[in-house]
Homo-oligomer: A and B are copies of this chain.
Amino acid sequence: MTLYKIRVYPDGIEGLVEAETSLLNALERLGVRLETLCGGAGWCGQCLVKAKGHLSEVSPVETDLISEDKLKEGYRLACQTYIKGDVDVEIPSQTRTYAHRILTTGIKTEDLRINPAVKSYNINLSPPSLDDQRSDLDRIEEAIGFKLEIPGINMLKDMPEILRENAFNIEVISYYKSLLEIRRPENKSIYGVAIDIGTTTVVVYLLDLRKGEIDVISAMNPQAKRGADVISRIDYAAKGGLEELQTSIVEEINSLIDQLCDRQGIENRDIYDVAVVGNTTMMHLFLGISPRYIAVSPYIPVFTKSLMVRASEIGIDINPNGICYILPNIAGYIGADTVGMILATGLYKEDGVRLALDIGTNGEMVLKDGDKIFSCSTAAGPAFEGANITYGMRGSRGAIDHVNIDDGHIIVHVIDDVEPVGICGSGLLDAVAVMLELGLLDETGRIIKPGGSLFESLVREKNNGLEFLLEAHNKKIPINQRDIRELQLAKGAIRSGIEILLEEAGRTYSDIETIYLAGAFGTYLDPESAIKIGLLPPVPLNKVYSVGNAAGEGAKLALIDVDFREIAEDISRKVRYIELSSRIDFQDKFMDSLYFEVVR
C-alpha cells in the first residue's frame, strides 16, 4: 500500500492517503467534507478545488464542467481526480462557502448516533456437552442476550456446520430482533445503502453501518424514457408497463450498487440494509405496485405507510436475507422524499414557523408551526427545469445560470464561461428579477419598453411582441412574453401553495423564521431573485437556506440510526396533507400569485 502526503490550504491540515484515492475521499478522511449535489458522480461541479502535484489526467467530465482558463490554473473536480503522488489542495472560498452552508443547515454527522437496524455480534460460544445440551440456536440466543425471530428456514440450514467449522466462534448479524445471517468472524464491516429515487435522477449512497457514509453514486432514472413526469409514468404502468418500469429502476440501482461495491472493494452480500425515499409514485413503481389511482381524482395510493420488504423479493442484489426499508409517504403527491426532507432539515423538532420547499416539476412544500405540520403539492410545470422556455435548457455548459446588476451593469454568467446557448431555471429567475428592477415588466407580467436609449439594447420588438435580451460573449439570448407567462404560472403555483399553508396555520410570511430550499433547483436559485419575483414570500435573506439533496440525507439518517425511522413514522402521521384541488380558495390565491409586485 503506497501512501502519499496531502496538504490542504488554507486549513493547513495534512495527512497520508492511499494512492488512487479520489481527492474528494482523501479530503473527507482528513475531516474536510465537501458537500456535493451529485454525491461525487461528477455532474454537479460543486467539489471544485485547485490542486498541484501528481494527479490523474483531466477527465472528460472535467473538460466539460471546468472552463479552459480554470483548468490551466489547476482547478479540478475533487471527485474526478485521483492521487498518484504527494498533493497540495486549495479549497476555493466558493466551494467552502457552499459546503459550509449545507453543513450548518443540513445534518451535522458528528451529532449522529450510530444505531442501525442491522447489528453484528462476535460471539465465542462454549461448545455443547452432555451437561449443556442446548440447541445451536438457543446457545446463540443466550450469548447475544435476546430471542431471535427466524424469518426464513434457510438461515438455519448452514448454522450447525458454520458453528462447528469455526469452533463455535461466529458472527451473528441481526436486523432488529430478526436473524439475518450467521457468518465466520472475518473482521468485515456491515454495510447499508440509502437510495433516493427521483423522477429524473437516482442517487445511491453506500454507508458503513459502523461509521457512516463512505461513497455515493448517481444516474438518470431509466424510467424517464417512458415519460418525463409522474403522470406519464403512471399511464405507462397502467397500460401494462408496470413490470418493465420496476425492472428498469431495480436494474439501474443494482448496477449502481455493483459500482459502489467495486470501488470500495466490498461484496454485495456484505450489504444488509437499504433505506429508500422517493415520491409516492416512485415508491409504488419500485415495489411493482400499481400507482394508477394516484393519477385520477381523488388521487389514492395503495399504501403510504413505511414498509420492510426482503430485498430479494424486489430483486435488489445485496445479501440474500437483506431488507429494504421504504420510508413512509404522506399522500399521493407528498412522498417519502418529503418525509426525508423533514427528517434531514430537522424541521420536525424546531420551534416556530418554518417552511421547507422542494421545487421541481411538482413543488412539495411543508410548513411547520409548533406542533402542527402542514403540507401540499402543486404542479409547477417544467419551467424551473428550463423546459417550455424558448431558449430554456438544463443547468449545464453554455447555460445562463445567473444574472444580476452590479454597479449599474447587467452581469450575465454562463456555465463554463462560454458563449451562451440558452438559459436554465436559476438564470430565468434572475433575469425576470432584473427585468422587474429595471421596470421592464408591469405587475401583470407584460413586457414594457420604457423610453430612453439605455433600454434600446435590452428590449427589442419582434413579430410576437417584445423580447428582453441577455448578452454574453457577444451573443444575445432572448426572453419573450410567452417565457414570462410560463414562469408566472410556475411561480404562481408554488407561491399560492405557500399562501394556503400559511393561511391554514393562521400565519403570515412575517412569522416565518426559516425557509429551507431542497433539491437541485433549490440549491442553485438566488434567493434574492426568488423573493423579488414573488416565488418566495418577502423574508430577510438570512432566513433562507439551501439544504441540497435533503431527501437522500433523510434516507441516510434512517439507515444509520433507526430512531429516525420512528421519527419518520411520527412525521408521516402528523403531517396534515392539504389537497389543493379541493380548496375553493386555491384558484383565487393562484390568480393573485401570478402577478408581480413592481419593485422599483
What residues make up the interface of A, taking CB atoms closer than 8 Å to B?
A: 128-138, 147, 150, 152-154, 156-157, 159-160, 164, 287-290, 292-293, 297-305, 307-310, 313-314, 329, 331-332, 577, 579, 581-582
List 30 interface pairs A-B (beta carbons < 8 Å), by A numbering.
A128-B298, A130-B298, A130-B581, A131-B582, A133-B299, A133-B300, A133-B332, A133-B579, A135-B303, A135-B305, A136-B300, A136-B301, A136-B303, A137-B304, A138-B303, A138-B304, A138-B305, A150-B308, A150-B309, A153-B287, A153-B289, A153-B309, A153-B314, A156-B303, A157-B288, A160-B292, A160-B293, A160-B300, A160-B302, A164-B293
5 closest cross-chain pairs (CB), A and B: A130-B582, A137-B303, A135-B304, A135-B301, A130-B298
State in angstroms the CA–CA spacing of A153 and B313 once bound together.
8
* Nearest residue, chain B, Cβ from A581: B130
* Nearest residue, chain B, Cβ from A287: B153
Residues in B with CB closer than 8 Å to A304 are: 134-135, 137-138
State in angstroms the CA–CA spacing of A329 and B138 once bound together.
12
State in angstroms the CA–CA spacing of A135 and B334 once bound together.
12
* Nearest residue, chain B, Cβ from A309: B153
Residues in B with CB closer than 8 Å to A293 are: 136, 160, 164
Q: Is the CB of B289 within 8 A of A157?
A: yes
Residues in B with CB closer than 8 Å to A314 are: 153
Q: Is the CB of A137 within 8 A of B302?
A: yes
Residues in B with CB closer than 8 Å to A129 are: 298
Q: Is the CB of A156 within 8 A of B302?
A: yes
Which of A134, A293, A300 has the most C-beta atoms of chain B within 10 angstroms of its own C-beta? Answer: A300
A572 to chain B, nearest CB (A): 10
State in angstroms the CA–CA spacing of A138 and B307 once bound together.
13
Residues in B with CB closer than 8 Å to A153 are: 287-289, 307, 309, 313-314
Residues in B with CB closer than 8 Å to A159 are: 302
State in angstroms the CA–CA spacing of A317 and B32 once bound together.
58
A157 to chain B, nearest CB (A): 6
A158 to chain B, nearest CB (A): 9
CB < 8 Å neighbour of A290 from B138, B160, B292, B581: B160
State in angstroms the CA–CA spacing of A138 and B303 once bound together.
7
Q: A153-B288, A292-B160, A305-B138 are in contact. Are A298 and B133 (CB under 8 A)?
A: yes
A294 to chain B, nearest CB (A): 10
Residues in B with CB closer than 8 Å to A131 are: 582
Apart from A130-B298, A136-B300, A153-B307, list 18 A-B contacts with CB within 8 A.
Answer: A129-B298, A130-B297, A133-B299, A133-B331, A133-B579, A135-B300, A135-B303, A135-B305, A136-B293, A150-B303, A150-B307, A150-B308, A150-B309, A152-B313, A153-B287, A153-B309, A156-B289, A160-B290
* Nearest residue, chain B, Cβ from A148: B305
Q: Is the CB of A305 within 8 A of B137?
A: yes
State in angstroms the CA–CA spacing of A305 and B154 once bound together.
16
Q: Is the CB of A290 within 8 A of B157?
A: yes
State in angstroms the CA–CA spacing of A133 and B579 once bound together.
9
Which of A298, A310, A582 has the most C-beta atoms of chain B within 10 angstroms of its own C-beta? Answer: A298
Q: Is the CB of A300 within 8 A of B150?
A: no
* Nearest residue, chain B, Cβ from A290: B160
* Nearest residue, chain B, Cβ from A131: B582
Residues in B with CB closer than 8 Å to A300 are: 128, 133-136, 160
State in angstroms the CA–CA spacing of A37 and B63 once bound together.
85
State in angstroms the CA–CA spacing of A577 and B138 once bound together.
14
Residues in B with CB closer than 8 Å to A305 are: 135, 137-138, 147
A378 to chain B, nearest CB (A): 15
State in angstroms the CA–CA spacing of A334 and B150 once bound together.
22
* Nearest residue, chain B, Cβ from A301: B135
Residues in B with CB closer than 8 Å to A309 are: 150, 152-153
* Nearest residue, chain B, Cβ from A242: B157
Q: Is the CB of A579 within 8 A of B303?
A: no
State in angstroms the CA–CA spacing of A160 and B147 once bound together.
37
Which of A133, A136, A288 has the most C-beta atoms of chain B within 10 angstroms of its own C-beta? Answer: A133
Residues in B with CB closer than 8 Å to A164 are: 293
Residues in B with CB closer than 8 Å to A156 are: 287, 289, 302-303
Which of A130, A288, A297 has the most C-beta atoms of chain B within 10 angstroms of its own C-beta? Answer: A130
